[in-house]
Chains A and B, each alone.
Chain A
Amino acid sequence: MSKPHSHLPLTILFMLAWRNLWRHRRRTLITLTSIAIGFGLAVLFIGIGDGSHNSMIRNAIKLGEGHITVQPKDYLQAPANHKYLSDGLSLSAKLNELNVTGSVAARISLQVLASTASNSVGAALEGFRSNSDQRQAMLQPQLIEGNWIEAGDHRGIVIGDGMARKLKAKIGSKVVLMAGKQGGDSQAQLGRVRGIFDSHVDELDDYLILSDLQFAQYFLAGEGAIIEQAPVTRFAVFLDDPDTMAYWKAQIKSVIENDLVVALDWQEMMPQLVQFIIIDDVGNYVFLILILIMVVFGIVNTVLMSVLERTREFGLLRALGLGRQHLLLLVFCETLLLSVLAVIIGWVVGGGTHWWFSQHGIDFSALMPEGTAMMGTFMDPVVYTELSWDRVTQLTIIIFVTTLLSGIYPAIKAARVTPVEALRT
């Protein structure tokens, strides 16, 4: 037969814990307020971080090669003009059959030497289909002179203002583009400047030459490509919903990937940007840790004070027959309730702050007069805070677990109370 032992139903445990929590209403409210403010700041800063990162990523994807890129297998490791997808037509058909929710842009990338009568500079020639490319959507508004390339303009090029300065080129200037061929020969095409853009991203303004796809295909034809097969360097896939990237990447891989062709996502295409974001995130997390330290001290202070001033009461409860484990649970429940309240109030404050800034944004242009370009992309000067559900879950768990862990020491302290000593106090 089992010996009788003490019971403490959860309802009573939580009732006691709840009432104990509000025994010093003002102290509990001050603690909750400090946690909520800390939490709100953490949500705001993480939201700004995520908002600016996502802004950079979106711009990088639009200026770059899309969410998913289909290109020759070894192109990323060693780009070269002779590496291209010779049968663009059939690859394009396969991609179209997938009905990707977004758009697919055919592109040609070539390393060229751009020359005018005044100067020569190394450049990247990017051929794309005019009027249907995201890159055009990004750069056309940045035109400072001339016009965008019209569809079917087989000689027109658009250059950045940095390159225009170096080449001393103006609207209408002729630019000879020379590209090396496999085997050591070279080939050249003549382009005419239709427009000059200023993106404020030096890597683009100094180095990029944009042309219609057909103009760039002349170079591939020089490499032996058959124009009728629509040769391209890559297909850039832009997704309407970036969260579906893993799904579409898998779909595209299953259809087109082979020994010669590979499908890469933007993280694989732009590892430097990923590294930059990780390092910047570390900074945000350091800030979060500082806030958590404040939260921990706040909670330990509240719960520990509450435990110390109730030593006699704990002694009484122990004398009456309450087991150590129940006393430990009681104090732990107080922390648990404090944590739940802290997370709820924290989300009301932090979520409200985030919502406001996600609608109205924060204008950083005054803080960054030099521009917002970095890592070959740029951040929109007005940052709208962003928080994904993953971040919401992550922050909730971090704050909840931290506050809960803060209660361990006071709970152990309470459980160590011996009735005879406590009743003497």
Chain B
Amino acid sequence: MALLTLQGISKCYQQGELQVNALNDINLQVEEGEFAALVGPSGSGKTTLLNIIGGLDTPTHGRTLLNNTDITGLKEAELSNFRLFQLGFIFQAYNLVPVLSALENVELVMVLQGRSAEEKRERAEHYLQLVGLQDVMQRRPSALSGGQQQRVAVARALAAGPRLVLADEPTANLDSENATALLDIMHRLSHEEKTTFIFSTHDPRVMERAERIITLHDGKIVSDECHQRHDEPTV
């Protein structure tokens, strides 16, 4: 059974007197371990779809089945717990907690999960090493570059052991070198950890590395193609 199933997802917003159909009857299945990209122009519904998959937003119609759970029927507190234990998030604007060090940021989700101090420390250090930040673990976000911050966000998303990682334009604020390095890391970890990644992008460098490209236009899936995986890092 697919890890993620979207059935007839629609989302309508009311903007003043205007009704906006952000998503229109989306049906989609994503298997475990996929490295899939949601692409499309601005306003095509990528972020809205990611928010609905992540339980951050609710659809007007349709169901989201994630790991056999219909999350559209969950109450807010249940959704919050579901996100905590099943999902990882990487946002466009890094979104680290500024008063915590890189290590503490990575540990934070595991703290909320109730993991032991040793386990969370071990995992946090491990994932920060995997993303190449072993030397700056004690630094706060303000002392890290944009690329480093986004790598902390990747380590945070993966260290908590999610089934699915959702990344909303993760390379949008990065220069070419940092973007490529981050994608390589995400790609490698997806492969090693067997973690499913879905990320929205309109960055060709990201699309290049995706195994599957789902194209949205005006809230509809207009194409869904599987690509040959771009294997190892270019750096």
Contacts and interface: CB of A to CB of B under 8 A. Distances in A.
Contact of A419 (B56, B81, B93, B111): B56
B56 A7 contact: no
Interface residues of A, number: 27
Contacts of B41: none
A271 interface: no
Interface stretch (B32-40, B95-103, B125-133, B180-188): B95-103
A6 B80 contact: yes
Interface stretch (B59-67, B84-92, B210-218): B84-92
B99 A20 contact: yes
B18 interface: no
Contacts of A323: 77, 80-81
A320 B109 contact: yes
Interface string B70-86: 00000011101101110
Nearest to A16: B99
B66 to A, nearest CB: 14
Interface string A204-237: 0000000000000000000000000000000000
A94 interface: no
Interface stretch (A193-201, A246-254, A281-289, A310-318): A310-318
B56 A6 contact: no
A8 interface: yes
Contact of A6 (B84, B89, B99, B100): B84
B203 interface: no
B83 A319 contact: yes
Contacts of A19: 99-100
Contacts of A419: 56
Nearest to A312: B95
A23 B84 contact: no
A352 interface: no
**By DSSP majority rule, is chain A's interface helix, strand, loop, or mixed?**
helix
B98 A23 contact: yes
Contacts of B99: 16, 19-20, 23
Given A6-B113, A8-B111, A20-B99, A420 B80 contact: no
A317 B114 CA distance: 16
A312 B92 CA distance: 13
Interface in A1-46: 3-9, 12, 16, 19-20, 23
Contact of A321 (B57, B83, B95, B100): B83
Given A20-B99, A317-B97, A322 B112 contact: yes
B56 A3 contact: no
Q: Which of A12, A23, A312, A320 has the most CB of B within 10 A?
A: A320
Interface in A288-347: 312-313, 316-324, 326
B68 to A, nearest CB: 14
Contact of B80 (A312, A316, A318, A423): A318
Q: Which of B51, B95, B98, B113 has the most CB of A within 10 A?
A: B95
Contact of B114 (A3, A7, A320): A7
Contacts of A12: 111
Given A3-B81, A4-B85, 4 more contacts: A4-B113, A19-B99, A323-B81, A420-B51
